[in-house]
Amino acid sequence: MSHAGAGVPLDGRRILDAGCGSGPLCVALRDRGAVVTGIDAGAGMLATARRRLGDGAATTRTCTWPTYVIRCRSTTTRSTGSPSR
């Protein structure tokens, strides 16, 4: 990420990455502490994003049209609850 806010911590902030593709922005935001929800119409792209994000990513299909959702949390964000639907 090459913009003015690139160094600002995002601890615990919830961010939506619509059209997340293979997840590069999800990774960058998660690594800065955000809880990221990425959505994409391509199941294959989300599979790639999930591999990129590792064990902290949960993928669910929550829509009636072919849109998929991936949620990930920073390793610095502790949560014992399950992701909301």
Q: What are the pLDDT digits (tens) for 26-80? A: 999 998 999 888 888 888 888 898 888 887 777 665 454 555 666 767 655 444 4
Distances (CA, A) of 28 to 23, 61, 79, 85: 9, 23, 19, 23
Q: What are the pLDDT digits (tens) for 6-24? A: 778 899 899 999 999 999 9
Q: Which H or E run includes 26?
A: helix 24-31
Q: Strand 14-18 and strand 35-40: pairing?
A: parallel
Greatest alpha-carbon span in the chain: 38
Rounded to two decimals, the pTM is 0.65
Reduced to 3 states (helix: H, G, I; strand: E, B; else coil), residue 73 is coil
- For the chain, the domains span 14-72
